[in-house]
Structure 1
Amino acid sequence: MALAIARQAVFLENSHNTTILLKLLNSTTTSLSKTQQAHSQIITTGLFTHTYFTTKLLSLYANGQYFSQATLLLDSIPNPDIFSFTTLISACSKSHQYNHVFCAFRQMLCFGFLPDKYIFPSVIKACSGISALGIGRQVHSFVSVTGFGLDTFVQSSLVHMYVKCGEMNDAHRVFDRMLDKSVVCWSALVAGYARNGYIDKAKDKNGLFYESLVMLQKMHLEGFKPDGTTISCVLSVVGDLEGLEMGIQIHGYVLKQALQSDKWVVSALLDMYGKCRCPSAMMRVFNELPQMEVASCNALVAGLSRNGLVEDALNVFKHFKEKKIELNVVSWTSMIASCTQNGKDIEALQLFREMQLSGVKPNAVTIPCLLPACANIAALMHGKAAHCFSIRKGISSDVYVGSALIDMYGKCGRIVDSRHCFDRLPTQNLVCWNAIMCGYAMHGMAREAIGIFNLMQENGHKPDFISFTCVLSACCQGGLTEEGLQYFEKMSEEYGIKARMEHYACITTLLSRAGRLQEAYDMIKEMPFEPDACVWGALLSSCRVHGNVSLGEVAAEKLFKLEPSNAGNYVLLSNIYATKGMWKEVNRVRDAMSSMGLTKNPGCSWIEIKNKVYTLLAGDRSHPQMAQIIERLERLNMEMKKSGYLPDTNFVLQDVEQQDKENILCGHSEKLAVGLGLLCTPPGSALRVIKNLRICGDCHSVIKFISMYEKREIFVRDTNRFHHFKDGMCSCGDYW
């Protein structure tokens, strides 16, 4: 002891040594080696027993984020005081080292020290950081019994903690007890209500979304000025509620407070006007910007896309590129998603290619946005390329990427690859299960879809309304009428899921395809809500298949009122009349279409050849290889006639001569696509065709023959399902 005191005396007498040590200890940042040098001097000079020096040293370790060394130092101090623990806990909390916070807090309590108003906020922040609600409640109780329950900083920390953990009632109770409410607390509460709100409750003025707007009003009335963060959160709520009037008022406040230069506020305004379907107001906000910024550009593109103005969004995006704005991964991903969701699939693929050429790296959000475009037009090679990219980047096991891959392979006719992707996922959520079930349904593999439905439940996943849509669709495609009806009943009785419009549409199709059209119509009349166009469309389509004129007219009249500008409904009714030779009625329907300015959507098919997607229209002769395609199809037609096949001209719904009918059949888009595939691919290779309409019976028979004669597998996806043609047979069993 005497020796230690002598060392201290000698060291302290040397003012130079003292100055250097104090300068080092008072430094805000220093290297680990310098800190350890100071630590060594304190030990060798016997100053380790001085709390002042050890606390300073502890702060130096903690501020440099050398938390392991700081913890070891604290453990070695013989008599630490409250300041030692305060220093370490505060530093660890600031650096988000929340586990170290809890360890130091526990150690402090073991030494018998009670936390104060400086320690509690740091510990509460740690609870918030890892959403440790249970520990947070315990700390809150500790706050109350130690008498710090009315301290402003402690209360503010508790409000933030409860907001972060989603416990808005508790947050509001603490807030109401505060004597000195700050802008920060008001903002936290408003943002919390916005983040944790529910749209359906909010619209009834009985939910957390609506409460966030009420809190904003109270905040303003009590003299507090909401900042940019608060305004941004509330604008997001207003957009979700489509509360345009409130949004305009908040916009006015933004202008009065000169917050229009805040990039987050501007982005929130653009987002709000986009959600409120006011693209003109959105454009005005954007045009008033002093300079374009990438977050605002992203919000504008998303808003235009949300309002169906995808062409405008593409033009704006092109303009941003020309202006050399540094577009980020969000910009590109948003534009790709917009194209995919609005039928611009080829443009989406082009954008993905441009994105990589520009040096922006796609991420785990980009790939799921791109893959539906590949699926929509059966661009299998592009889909495979995206799959390879995800493997190289290590994101193929991401559940969202995985579910998109399952969907893409299923829609490209590769159901086996789809199942492989499903099986290789380390974890499967409900989206993945529904995706593989939907794939099996689309391929007419009803038993496999039902097997997945059962396996999903065995693995602990409860089916949702989408799961039942998939299984009902599978029963439709597989002709499992009675089983489908049983699942429909179980959905509400055993699973508590109320039937939605899409479920009734499936049951309508299920009954109608089985020829039970009257039952389908009776069920529609008993629906608990008004049937929409999907339900009536399912009945009309089946009336076309079965030639039921009376029910077809009923369904068509309903559809004319629901979708007056949908030419497809008029065409279906016209086709029903045509199959019965009712040409006067056919002309009446076509005249009605003409007077309304409606034109029939032409049959359109897509086929991918050597990484390029080709589009062929029914009756179109503009393709450079059309002469060769027609010649190849006519040769096949001759071979078919030798085999006893005669063209089924009942599918030509025009009052023309027999030879003209055969020529029209030859020009159907799916036949043209298959003909192009035969010309441009090696013998024996598979062909994959997508059609925008239901495949006609004649084309179905022809492609069955071609698959046998050319020894090819041919996959055709129409609006209903996939048809796998092989060796003269189709996977649908001629039931579609």
Structure 2
Amino acid sequence: MLKLKNQTFLVTNHGRFYKFSTAAAIVDTTITHTHIQEVSQPRFLPSLDPKFYITALLSSRNVSHIRQVHAQLAVNGVVQNLTVTNKLIYMYAQHKVLGDAYALFCDMEEKDAVTWSVMVGGFVKGGDFTNGFGTFRELIRCGVAPDNYTLPFVIRACRDLLDLKMGRLIHDVVLKHGLLSDNFVCAALVDMYAKCRVIDDARQLFDNMPHRDLVTWTVIIGGFAECSNASESLVLFDRMVDEGVVPDKIAMGTIVNACAKFGAMHKARLVHDYICRNKFSLDVILGTAMIDMYAKCGCVDSAREIFDRMQVKNVITWSAMIAAYGYHGRGREALNIFDMMLSSGVLPNAITFISLLYACSHSGLIQEGLRFFSLMWDEFSVRADVKHYTCMVDLLGRAGKLDEALNLAESMAVEKDEGLWSALLGACRIHGNLDLAERAASSLLELQPQNSGHYILLSNIYARAGRWKEVAKMRNLMTQRRLKKISSSSWIEVGDKNYQFSVGDRTHLQSENIYAMLKSLSHKLELAGYVPDTNFVLHDVDEEVKVHMLYTHSEKLAIAFGLIATADGTPIRITKNLRVCGDCHTFSKFISAITQRVIIVRDANRFHHFREGTCSCGDYW
């Protein structure tokens, strides 16, 4: 039973050929005899050699050609050849004609492991995961042993769906059939666990693999970076090179992205040197990744050097450079890059405008931001989504235009998400608008009731207003819901190592020297005019206790250690997991003046470059 190009079906019966025309894709056995007309055998090329048909299938340029070969197979009786039929199913699947592939699959009286693999793989590659899993279950029920071709396909489906439960079931099947030692299967499992953010399981499988190829190394390195453990990614990269595995451009792109997440300038320089030594060309993918790496390691000028050296730039490259200037607070330069982009003939996309609006927001460029928001659709036919609206709410909110920000949020046609309400709540924190803060927090807690950060932010707003009963209420609510506050941590890069500090930390080997340095600095700061801002101590305690608590903030401990451990005149590079508080911001400005040191702080939102008593953000962050 075959569907031909002209919608004619051929049915063979004891050597006779019948035809009928129908719009249906499958012939039903209830079709009456009046619908069928006997015809003479079509003039197909007679051949009983399976290689002839395999060659014809491989040279098929479209579905029509495949169906013509299919017809010849049926007429000449070769369709019963398992190798040929498997290739036919494969070709249908390759051209995403899964209905025809599955109809042929179901009609087959004999199937081997290749047949099942081709059908499962065809469904998964075509994005039909439901039928892919269903066919795999049927394979298991039929007692067919899955092989190292079938299993990676179903594991990939689990990865793409982030279906950890199904992934673990497939892992059990792998163990049952003794295929865990197979590199293809094990690498697929490592990839699945890494993408599902179960990185410990991925690492255990990886470490037990008898042989690890470049793809597997790349997967595990990228997995650790995605799971917020970029430092381990860098360790694994060094181990990979030591074991003689030579990275390709994809692997280098992965390690560059890990450097960007980690924010370690020393490692970024080493990776850059490796790229230069091995003469990797700065194509669009690798070059754009390096722009992002240098920008997120605190050196936007190095990012610009990479950008200027690239021979070919696409819209992602231009957008990355705009974003780099944006989170370093250099909004005007971001706008200049946008003008250059237009002059080069590259049209902006949605991501470009997110980068632009973010740059305007963090540089106080209100009118420019409003203009770009209007231009998006009017001149470039880019429709605003919730991220663009979030940038605009942030832009207006930071500038104190809370009513305009709220009106924009209420008038937007797209669905509001937690990012938009978080931007509005952050603006309320800056400007102390309690009523609007409560409204924004209420919407946030509906969307993300288990996110402790929302409770903390509202609690901090209450504390700034001296409303301690409400502060206690929020903390009790967190206790009832078993939520924990995210503790403030800061990391400082000294040489090729990173050191972590938490609030009031005394675990460092040089703790005595660090606190002695802070005490020494306090006298110089007082003479320079620094007064601790105890409004940023969000506890109902005595003023003296508040001052002491301020001096033990994690970034201050990191700065004190940096002054001890690094040479005079060298920058101090710090990464913080939360937003820098106002007092630490002021403290850092004074320290940069009295010590003549550049202090670069990467917080949860942006970069701050403190130099000679000023900050690159212009106190607007």
Q: Answer yes or no: same fold by TM over 0.5.
A: yes
* Residues in 2 aligned to 1:683 and 1:717: alpha-carbon distance in whole angstroms: 21
Structure 1 residue 242: Cα displacement: 7.0
1:220–1:614 distance in 2 versus 1, CA, 3 Å: same
145, 152, 171: which one aligns with 1:283: 171
Structure 1 residue 310: Cα displacement: 1.1
1:160–1:431 distance in 2 versus 1, CA, 3 Å: farther
Structure 1 residue 221: Cα displacement: 3.0
Structure 1 residue 725: Cα displacement: 0.8
1:516 alignment counterpart: 401
Q: Provide Cα deviations, 1:540-574, integer angstroms capped at 9, x if missing partner.
A: 11111111101110111111111111110000000
Q: Which amino acid aligns with 2:213?
A: N
Answer whether contact 2:120 2:150 (CA < 8 A) is retained: no
1:175–1:512 distance in 2 versus 1, CA, 3 Å: farther
1:645 alignment counterpart: 530
Q: Provide Cα deviations, 1:226-268, integer angstroms capped at 9, x if missing partner.
A: 86387357447437747346413334226637351x3121221
Q: What 5-or-longer segments of structure 2 have no aligned partner? A: 1-41
1:509–1:500 distance in 2 versus 1, CA, 3 Å: same
* Residues in 2 aligned to 1:219 and 1:521: alpha-carbon distance in whole angstroms: 59
1:651–1:335 distance in 2 versus 1, CA, 3 Å: same
Answer whether contact 1:190 1:234 (CA < 8 A) is retained: no
Answer whether contact 2:329 2:617 (CA < 8 A) is retained: yes
Answer whether contact 2:92 2:101 (CA < 8 A) is retained: no
589, 613, 618: which one aligns with 1:728: 613
Answer whether contact 2:528 2:590 (CA < 8 A) is retained: no
* Residues in 2 aligned to 1:513 and 1:390: alpha-carbon distance in whole angstroms: 41
* Residues in 1 aligned to 2:585 and 2:566: alpha-carbon distance in whole angstroms: 21
504, 507, 518: which one aligns with 1:622: 507
- More displaced stretch, 469-478 vs 376-385: 376-385
Higher helix share: 1
- More displaced stretch, 183-192 vs 541-550: 183-192
Structure 1 residue 490: Cα displacement: 1.7
2:157 alignment counterpart: 272
Q: Which amino acid aligns with 2:341?
A: M
Structure 1 residue 665: Cα displacement: 0.9
Structure 1 residue 622: Cα displacement: 1.4
* Residues in 2 aligned to 1:171 and 1:664: alpha-carbon distance in whole angstroms: 77
Structure 1 residue 649: Cα displacement: 0.7
1:344–1:654 distance in 2 versus 1, CA, 3 Å: same
* Residues in 2 aligned to 1:681 and 1:148: alpha-carbon distance in whole angstroms: 86
Q: Within the alignment, does 1:535 sit opposite 2:420 as a pair?
A: yes
Structure 1 residue 722: Cα displacement: 1.0
* Residues in 2 aligned to 1:694 and 1:242: alpha-carbon distance in whole angstroms: 43
2:184 alignment counterpart: 295
Answer whether contact 1:715 1:724 (CA < 8 A) is retained: yes
135, 156, 160: which one aligns with 1:249: 135
Q: Provide Cα deviations, 1:101-149, integer angstroms capped at 9, x if missing partner.
A: xxxxxxxxxxxxxxxxxxxxxxxxxxxxxxxxxxxxxxxxxxxxxx999
Structure 1 residue 176: Cα displacement: 7.2
2:91 alignment counterpart: 188
Q: Which amino acid aligns with 1:216?
A: A
* Residues in 2 aligned to 1:664 and 1:241: alpha-carbon distance in whole angstroms: 55
1:365 alignment counterpart: 250
Q: Which amino acid aligns with 1:186?
A: I
Answer whether contact 2:203 2:220 (CA < 8 A) is retained: yes
1:52 alignment counterpart: none
1:221–1:673 distance in 2 versus 1, CA, 3 Å: same
SS at match of 1:263: coil
2:493 alignment counterpart: 608
* Residues in 2 aligned to 1:606 and 1:477: alpha-carbon distance in whole angstroms: 23
Answer whether contact 2:44 2:72 (CA < 8 A) is retained: no
1:419 alignment counterpart: 304
1:231 alignment counterpart: 117
1:582 alignment counterpart: 467
2:337 alignment counterpart: 452
Based on CA coordinates, which of the two structures has the bigger radius of gyration?
A: 1
SS at match of 1:616: strand
* Residues in 2 aligned to 1:572 and 1:234: alpha-carbon distance in whole angstroms: 49
The percent identity for this pair of structures is 35
* Residues in 2 aligned to 1:154 and 1:318: alpha-carbon distance in whole angstroms: 46
Answer whether contact 1:372 1:404 (CA < 8 A) is retained: yes
Q: Which amino acid aligns with 1:247?
A: F
Structure 1 residue 333: Cα displacement: 0.7
1:378 alignment counterpart: 263
| Superposition map of 1:103-502 within 5 A | 160-161=58-59, 174=68, 180=74, 182-183=84-85, 184-193=87-96, 211-212=97-98, 214-223=99-108, 225=111, 228=114, 231-232=117-118, 234-235=120-121, 237-238=123-124, 241=127, 243-244=129-130, 246-253=132-139, 256=142, 258=144, 260=146, 262-276=147-161, 277=163, 278-291=166-179, 292-320=181-209, 325-502=210-387
1:504 alignment counterpart: 389
- More displaced stretch, 171-180 vs 470-479: 171-180
Structure 1 residue 295: Cα displacement: 1.1
Q: Which amino acid aligns with 1:403?
A: T
Answer whether contact 1:228 1:259 (CA < 8 A) is retained: no
1:242–1:217 distance in 2 versus 1, CA, 3 Å: closer
Q: Within the alignment, does 1:704 sit opposite 2:589 as a pair?
A: yes
Answer whether contact 2:421 2:443 (CA < 8 A) is retained: yes
Structure 1 residue 188: Cα displacement: 1.0
442, 450, 474: which one aligns with 1:557: 442
1:176–1:472 distance in 2 versus 1, CA, 3 Å: farther
1:600–1:240 distance in 2 versus 1, CA, 3 Å: farther
Structure 1 residue 429: Cα displacement: 2.3
SS at match of 2:149: helix
Q: Which amino acid aligns with 2:171?
A: M
Structure-2-length-normalised TM-score: 0.85
Structure 1 residue 162: Cα displacement: 5.8
Q: Which amino acid aligns with 1:378?
A: G
| Superposition map of 1:44-123 within 5 A | none
* Residues in 2 aligned to 1:480 and 1:151: alpha-carbon distance in whole angstroms: 76
| Superposition map of 1:649-664 within 5 A | 649-664=534-549
SS at match of 1:715: strand
1:646–1:406 distance in 2 versus 1, CA, 3 Å: same
Q: Provide Cα deviations, 1:451-501, integer angstroms capped at 9, x if missing partner.
A: 222222322322121111111111111111121122112212222222122
460, 477, 485: which one aligns with 1:592: 477
1:234–1:608 distance in 2 versus 1, CA, 3 Å: same
Answer whether contact 2:394 2:427 (CA < 8 A) is retained: yes
Structure 1 residue 376: Cα displacement: 2.1
* Residues in 1 aligned to 2:422 and 2:126: alpha-carbon distance in whole angstroms: 31
Answer whether contact 2:256 2:271 (CA < 8 A) is retained: yes
SS at match of 1:642: helix
1:433–1:289 distance in 2 versus 1, CA, 3 Å: farther
1:681 alignment counterpart: 566
Q: Which amino acid aligns with 2:129?
A: G
